Structure 1
């Protein structure tokens, strides 16, 4: 047992020895490796210290190289516009007529873009190049401007507006093919101008050229109509009253409207939307200035002939106001300039209302005599004719009166309204036609009240004064009924009836002496034959019986009454027939006399006509004869 155990221990001991020997070798190897690592680290540090500066310099060289490449690229970009200037210079200097419009505009666009690129680079070294390109663009723009101008002049030959407005034809616009060319030229010119100038868009050459040439074209087309408007205002006779349409202002305004609308339609295809109003206003300016001058001349004429030609002022207001409305609806422009041109005429027309009232007063006050036959005075007819004529201008008059306010036409109110607005001027709910009716009633009241005051001074006898006023009331009433005034002056009826009744009563009072003669037989009422109470005509009374019952003294008194009646009646009849009465006045007066004189005379005649036994010595008129005499 011992021998095998020793053998096993010996074997294990040998293995341990081998293991220890290997470990010694491993330790020796480890030491060698550690020494190699230490030597390697030392060498790495040496290499790193040697290579680090080289690596850093390499990075810097790479960055520098990149920057150089970029600089070269930038220089190439900077040099490109300079190189391009040389290429475009020949094209632009040759002009659009030689190289063709399309190539020329393309060259100008490239030059404009080159200038924009130079400005973005912001290099001082490019200043000279920028100046050269700017000069080149200006040259090109000027040549395009010349082409634009020449093309516009081809279609700017003046025309005769009357040929269009009388035939209700539209005025010509620019041809469509030319409009497209104009648009191309303008858009490129505007872009080039924006690069070379910082001025307002309204100074763009093509806008200025367009407004200049087309504005002159419109002005020349309208020149004859402007002259005609002034010449047709001249009066042939000093007292002639202006009639609607006599002046050429209507044709002038219609032609102005037609040309302006045609021009606006020509502008829209050529210019951009934001430029339409600017170009249209500039193009219209000269023609509007001439129109304003014409209105000022006509306004001076109206002022100098206010009583007869105030209607021209009203017509101008209506025509020009409608013109302004229609142009604004079609173009959205010119409302304010046209309104400003109308201001002088409008102010004159506003003041005319009060001045016409003053004229009516002054003309009546200046009368030194009235006709002995009580006929009317011209001022009545002229005043009513003026009111009749005013109904033809109601749109203008109602506008004026609305701005004045009710009663604002009085002299003091009109004078103050020119400087200080009143609350009535802001009455937006005012009825213009009602205001006109008030003005007409004021005119009639002014006329009649002043005529009444004047006739009291110049006509002796209330009965004659009554006939004079009645005749004037008749003229006024007839003028109202026979015109548009009838529908406007519905409230005037009671006022005129009051004047008519008052004047007729004044005339009827002059017959009181005759009526007293016929009513002064009451001294016989206690005698036989007195008519029953309520019997006016004396019907059924036996004149023979009544006369027989009278004493000689009473008979003589009755005879004297007949003689007095005959003399007075004949005298009044002669005077009555000699008076100038309007037909309706005479009919009304005759009816009134018949209703008062005939019943009284019939009663008197029925009782006492047998006083001269039918010989006609005392009783000159029987009842039919008296009635006939009153009718004539």
Structure 2
């Protein structure tokens, strides 16, 4: 019992203690809640205060920033004023340097002084302060004076290094390079050029225009030097064109244009080396063109004068046109590959001569036709006329200029000389080149070979037409044509034309056949006397013909008196005609191969017929020789004398 009471009191005490702890916790929770509310109220008041502070502090911060920027600007102005005060104070020193000039003070120091003045001037212009305007004008005056003295120094150096004249032949004959400026001079000129060129470019926006003054200085001095050096060679080129014998055919290298072009190339390339060392890269083209222009103009004048001479002597001096085309084209290509310039200027100078060279191909054909048409007589013995060898010699001479002629042929186009001839007679429409002239795969040598063949065919056709009118006799016409063919063929085979034309000479075969046809017309007339028509009696035996041995005596016995008389007449007629033919053959002028050809043709046509006739009827005069003048061996011997 006592134990139970004790346990109850203990439980009651524990509950009481738990209630007491709960009460304590509730009390603390209530205090925490009250504290949270107070904190929230404080935060609200603090936020409201912050907004008020922000609205007040914002303008103050902007003002502070403005004041900071203004302060920095003031500091910058003070620093600029301090910088400007120093150059203004040192202006007298720079002016003294400028007045002394680059020669006394030294080029490097002089350029450094001008660059310092230029820098200060740009700084002062940037500040745009009214108080510095007078100083700016003074500095501009100093810079202008300095640039003028630099230009004068540039001019002085150029003139001191430029001789009044040189002898180009000295450098050409000894294979020496034409002179250029010494390296130390090039270095000084390069310094001056670099500064003045840059100054000119930066000044363009301020009203400057045209080429830099130093370009004009350089071009004026050096162009005169080059033109003077080339003057004698230009004059010699035109003087040498006037031959002592106007009818002499021009020969390669006999005009001074080659030396003239060689000297021009050497001088231009030497000048380009100077220009590259002196001027900025962007100015090279401008300076080279300005320097070479007077010499190019003189070249154009020289070529126009040569062109007038060539056109006046086209048949003999057209080859000069071909040579000029090759030489000036080579000059243009060499300068183009080394400098990248002058090609268009040289092409313009060459154009008149090139056009004359192209036109000459047609003109030469027309000239040959005119000469043949104008022939008032031909050799009565059938000898070839000079126009034949002259025409082939012209083609032979062209081979010496095959390179330029090939390029001309390509530009003219295959057969272009025919269309040009038609246009010159009024057959052309607008003179526009044919598509063939633009064939980039054309072979100039092949086209030239076609031109040669056309020339030969024109020559042969024109001569045949003239021979029909003037010679009339077929045998003489045949000899004339055959001689012409022989001369043409021989001159081609024995010259540099052979590689081009030897495989094409079958074009002459038709003329050889025609010549044979004309010449052997007489043989046909003679052969008529060797044809026999024998009348036999009905019971008589017909003479054998071509079978076994022929017994002339038996044949003659079988003939009647009328037939025998007819045979005698035929022998006599043959003898007369044959002797006349032999005499004429020996009187004709024949080339060796022509004489042999005709002799062989005559023998082949007449001898077999005569031998047959002789075999059958030589017993007509019983060996007395009254009617039968030739036996077989005798007539064979006569034919041998014809070869």
Q: TM-score range by the shorter chain?
A: 0.7 to 0.9
Distance in 2 of aligned mates of 1:143 and 1:168? 39
| Structure 2 unpaired stretches of 5+ | 1-55
Q: How far does residue 250 in structure 1 lie from its aligned partner after superposition? A: 1.0
Q: What pairs up with 1:53-452 in 2 under 5 angstroms?
A: 67-123=73-129, 126-157=132-163, 158-198=165-205, 203-410=211-418, 411-412=420-421, 419-452=431-464
Q: Is the 8 A contact 2:536 2:542 kept in 1?
A: no
Secondary structure, in 3 states, of the residue corresponding to 1:269?
helix
Q: With structure 1 as the length reference, what TM-score do the two structures score?
A: 0.84
Q: What is the rounded CA distance, in whole Å, between the counterparts of 2:110 and 2:591 in structure 1?
A: 87
Q: Please point out which of 575, 578, 587 is paired with 2:584.
A: 575
* Higher deviation after alignment, 76-85 or 321-330: 76-85
Mapped to 2, the partners of 1:225 and 1:80 lie a distance apart of: 62
What is the CA distance between 1:522 and its match in structure 2? 4.7
Do the aligned residues in 2 keep the contact of 1:350 with 1:414 (CA within 8 Å)? no
Which of residues 549, 558, 568 in structure 2 aligns to 1:559? 568
Q: Distance in 2 between matches of 1:319 and 1:285?
A: 19
1:541 correspondence with 2:550: yes
Q: Which stretch of structure 1 is more off in the superposition, 250-259 or 123-132?
A: 123-132
> What is the CA–CA distance in structure 1 between the aligned matches of 2:390 and 2:559, rounded to whole Å?
61
**Any idea what the Cα deviations from partners look like across 1:321-374, whole Å, max 9, x if unmatched?**
111111111111111111111111111111111111111221122222222112
Q: Secondary structure at the match of 1:359?
A: helix
Aligned to 2:637: 628
Tell me the equivalent position of 2:22.
Answer: none
CA separation of 1:544/1:279 partners in 2, compared to 1, >3 Å: closer, same or farther?
same
Secondary structure of the corresponding residue to residue 617 of structure 1 = coil
Q: Does the aligned pair in 2 maintain the 1:81–1:115 contact within 8 Å?
A: no
Shift of 1:194: 4.0
- SS in structure 1 of the partner of residue 520 of structure 2: helix
Aligned 8 A contact 1:397 1:436 in 2: yes
* TM-score, normalisation: structure 2: 0.83
Q: Any idea what the Cα deviations from partners look like across 1:160-192, whole Å, max 9, x if unmatched?
A: 112222232222222222211211121122234
Q: Within 2, Cα distance between the matches of 1:143 and 1:337? A: 35
**Structure 1 match to 2:610:** 601
After TM superposition, give the deviation of residue 238 of structure 1 in Å.
2.1
Paired position in structure 1 for 2:42:
none
Partner of 2:23: none
Give the direction of change, closer, same or farther, for the CA distance of 1:64–1:387 in structure 2 (3 Å limit).
closer
Deviations 1:12-51 (A, max 9, x none): xxxxxxxxxxxxxxxxxxxxxxxxxxxxxxxxxxxxx9xx
Specify whether residues 284 and 61 from structure 1 end up closer, same or farther in structure 2 by C-alpha distance, changes over 3 A only: closer
The 5 A counterparts of 1:28-67 are 67=73
Whether the 8 Å CA contact 1:242–1:309 is kept in 2: the answer is yes
Contact 2:607 2:635 (C-alpha < 8 Å) held by counterparts: yes
CA distance in 1, matches of 2:475, 2:204: 89
The alpha-carbon distance between structure 1 residues 168 and 554, as it changes in their structure 2 partners (threshold 3 A), is: same
Q: C-alpha distance in 1, partners of 2:321/2:571?
A: 65
Distance 1:200 1:559 in 2: 115
The whole-number CA distance in structure 2 between the counterparts of 1:377 and 1:59 is 113
Change in 2 beyond 3 A, CA 1:347/1:90: same
Summarize the Cα distance change of 1:515–1:186 in structure 2 as closer, same or farther, 3 Å threshold: same
Q: Deviation digits for residues 427-462 of structure 1, max 9, x if unmatched? A: 222222221122112212211112222222212122
Match of 1:513 in 2: 525
Q: 1:475 aligns with which of 484, 487, 490?
A: 487
8 A contact 2:493–2:502 mirrored in 1: no
Distance 2:503 2:160 in 1: 64
- Report the Cα offset of residue 471 of structure 1: 1.5
Equivalenced residue count is 577
RMSD: 3.0
**Maintained 8 Å contact 2:534/2:563:** no
Give the Cα–Cα distance (whole angstroms) in 2 for the partners of residues 62 and 265 of structure 1: 60
Q: 1:598 to 1:299 in 2, by over 3 A?
A: same
| Preserved contact between residue 138 and residue 196 of structure 1 (Cα < 8 Å) | no
Counterpart CA distance in 2 for 1:67 and 1:581 is 114
CA deviation digits over 1:538-576, x for unaligned, max 9? Answer: x84344444454444433333322221121112122222
2:599 is matched with 590
Given the alignment of the two structures, is residue 503 of structure 1 paired with residue 510 of structure 2, yes or no?
Answer: no
Asked whether the equivalents of residues 134 and 196 of structure 1 are also in contact (C-alpha less than 8 Å), the reply is: no
- Unaligned ranges ≥5, structure 1: 1-48
Q: Which residue of 2 aligns with 1:31?
A: none
- C-alpha distance in 2, partners of 1:63/1:317? 76
Cα deviation for residue 525 of structure 1 reads: 11
- Per the TM alignment, residue 242 of structure 1 is displaced from its structure 2 partner at its CA by 0.7
- The alignment partner of 2:417 has SS state of coil
Tell me, yes or no, if the aligned pair for 2:523 and 2:605 is still in contact at 8 Å.
no
Cα distance change on mapping 1:56 and 1:344 into 2, 3 Å: closer
- The Cα offsets for residues 272-293 of structure 1, whole Å up to 9 and x where unpaired, read as 2222222222222121111111
Aligned to 2:11: none
